[in-house]
Amino acid sequence: MEIVRPHSHRNLFSSNDAASAPTIPLYRSAPPLEVRLEDFESFAIDRLRVLKGISDGLSRGKKPDEMEKLVSELWKVNMRHQHASEVLNKDIISHFVLRLVYCRTEDLRKWFLSMECALFRYRFRFLTAEAQRAIMDEFDITCKAVNIMEFESIKEKLGQVARSMGQPLPTGDAIFYKVPFEDVPELVAGRRVLLSQGYAYVAMNQVVSLVATLFRSQLSKTLILTNRKWTSSIREQEKHRLTPIVEALCSSYLGPDFSQPKEYAEISLKDIDQLAKTSFPLCMRHQFDKLKEDHHLKHGGRMQLGLFLKGVGLNLDDALAFWRAEFSKKVGLEKFEKEYAYTIRHNYGKEGKRTDYTPYSCYKIISSTPGAGDHHGCPYRHFSEENLRAALSRMGVNSRAMEDVMNKVRNRHYQLACTLTFEALHGVPCDAGINHPNQYFNDSQKILQPKKDSST
Ligand code: SF4
């Protein structure tokens, strides 16, 4: 792929080419496409939204039919393009950009491989029989169809397998493929296929397993090759242009930046204690309580909580009053004005470079490394099990929900643990999952505000 500056986009897939290409590209080699720098990043982010959505759905234990619906929605929302003829290009470009992003470590490769394979499976199922066959041809599967004589000789055994799975017996026009058994590990493991002399006989409706295994093995090899190219040349050649984008992409936070409170305009200082109880996520609630208790927070905590409060709508004057009221009890008014007020004004872009700083996303908070005496970070990641249980029960999480939350924590799904906490406390599902403390706050207010308004 060649990266070009904006406004010189050339599409090598003419409409004819697009029509004759299989509906799911197999991404065998990077196409000779020219890509605008801005598309390079934005297409990748859109595909990442799909993959992260799949990852989220799977870790939430969604059922296969729920996953099918989810993937189709995610694809529709994120992978469309204003020009229909560009949809295929977007698909291909975004895949190759993410391949660069995710080839760089073993863990990244593993994640990308499983999510791309899951995506491929669901997309394959949505295809017409004709499009499915086109892909099978690409993988040379159709030439392995069992002929009528061989079918007659194994018909009885195929029938036994079908019966054991409660499926109808195969008839003469059924199509079976004969492939090495290692090409369909999940069918073999689930005893869902006839095995004979090292071969598996795969029915047409099971073909997705076979195609997905071949897709996986092809992608796995190319990820290793891409990694070699990345380390030997691309990283250095592109150090001023693509490398910073590639390195930032896998840790990108994909939601809104919450630097300006949009939904609930401003919050008032007098309401803040109540809001902390009802609508702050655990990370902010913990820091808020510690500030009230110790009348002090170290720098990491002041940044994390301070920017969150700015994002929920505490204006600069109220923020100064809020921090002053607590800190002056410990360090005195003079020291507060001299040493701490500057950072607060700085967060609001009123000092230094006058940058309007953005509240931290969950990813950033979870990846932080709080030291002794720090109270910032994500409790789901940074608390001991005992402390986390105590904090959750203070928030009002019941014992059944607590076990689900702790389960997610054990599997290192910290944002899902937070999502389950949100759901337990608000009594409604949070399908999008929690990705940002300010999103937690806004979603909570959306639920609680109307209730409050109707009761007044
Ligand atoms: S998951 Fe996000 S919002 Fe929830 S506690 Fe951790 S950092 Fe805060």
- Mean pLDDT, rounded, for 48-76: 90
Residue with tokens 């990705």: 435
Ligand 1 mutation target, pool 280, 366, 367, 405, most atoms within 8 A of CB: 366
**pLDDT per residue over 395-424, tens digit each?**
999 999 999 999 999 988 899 999 999 999
Regarding predicted confidence, which is higher, 363 or 394?
394
Ligand 1 mutation target, pool 365, 366, 367, most atoms within 8 A of CB: 365
Distance (Å) from CA 395 to ligand 1 centroid: 14
Q: Which residues line ligand 1 (CB under 6 A)?
A: 281-283, 362, 365-366, 378-380, 414-415, 418, 434, 437, 440
**pLDDT per residue over 365-406, tens digit each?**
998 999 999 999 999 999 999 999 999 999 999 999 999 999
- Mean pLDDT, rounded, for 244-261: 75
Residues with Cβ within 8 Å of residue 145, at least 6 apart in sequence: 175, 176, 177, 178
**pLDDT per residue over 90-134, tens digit each?**
999 999 999 999 999 998 999 999 999 999 999 998 898 888 988
Q: What is the pLDDT of residue 348?
A: 86
**Is residue 257 predicted with pLDDT exceeding 80?**
no
Q: Whose CA is nearest to atom 5 of ligand 1?
A: 283
**Is residue 8 predicted with pLDDT exceeding 80?**
no
- Does the pTM of the predicted model rise above 0.85? no
- Residue positions forming the annotated binding site for [4Fe-4S] cluster: 283, 362, 378, 418
How far apart (Å, rounded) are the C-alpha atoms in residues 362 and 278? 19
Q: What is the pLDDT of residue 451?
A: 62
- DSSP for 209-232, please give it: HHHHHHHHHHHHHHHHHHHHHIII
Residue with tokens 């999952």: 433
Q: How long a stretch of residues is the chain?
A: 456
Q: What is the pLDDT of residue 16?
A: 36
Q: What is the pLDDT of residue 35?
A: 85
How far apart (Å, rounded) are the C-alpha atoms in residues 287 and 273? 13
**pLDDT per residue over 315-357, tens digit each?**
999 999 999 999 999 999 999 999 999 888 988 887 766 566 7
Distance (Å) from CA 362 to ligand 1 centroid: 5
Among the residues of 269-298, which ranges form H helices? 272-279, 282-294
Cα–Cα nearest to 360, from 426, 309, 292: 309
Q: What is the pLDDT of residue 260?
A: 67
Q: What is the pLDDT of residue 249?
A: 84
Distance (Å) from CA 437 to ligand 1 centroid: 6
**Is residue 261 predicted with pLDDT exceeding 80?**
no
How far apart (Å, rounded) are the C-alpha atoms in residues 254 and 244? 17
Q: What is the pLDDT of residue 14?
A: 34
For the record, the structure tokens of 68 come out as 């099918």
Confidence tier at 250 by pLDDT (50, 70, 90): confident
**pLDDT per residue over 203-242, tens digit each?**
888 889 889 999 999 999 999 999 999 999 999 999 888 8
Residue with tokens 């109307």: 450
The ligand 1 atom nearest the CA atom of 421: 4
Lowest mean pLDDT among 35-39, 100-104, 149-153: 35-39
Q: What is the pLDDT of residue 343?
A: 85
Q: What is the pLDDT of residue 2?
A: 64
Q: What is the pLDDT of residue 22?
A: 47
**Do the bridges between strand 176-180 and strand 34-36 make them parallel or antiparallel, or are there none, so unpaired?**
unpaired
Q: Whose CA is nearest to atom 8 of ligand 1?
A: 283
Q: State whether the Cα torsion 229-233-235-240 is positive or negative.
A: negative
Ligand 1 mutation target, pool 304, 307, 380, 426, most atoms within 8 A of CB: 380
Distance (Å) from CA 227 to ligand 1 centroid: 32
**Is residue 7 predicted with pLDDT exceeding 50?**
no
Residues 413-448 as b/e (b if ≥16 CB within 10 A, e otherwise) read: bbbbbbbbbbbbbbeeebeebbbbbbbbbbbbbebe
Mean pLDDT estimate for the chain: 87
Distance (Å) from CA 418 to ligand 1 centroid: 6
Confidence tier at 5 by pLDDT (50, 70, 90): very low
Residues with Cβ within 8 Å of residue 95, at least 6 apart in sequence: 25, 27, 47, 116
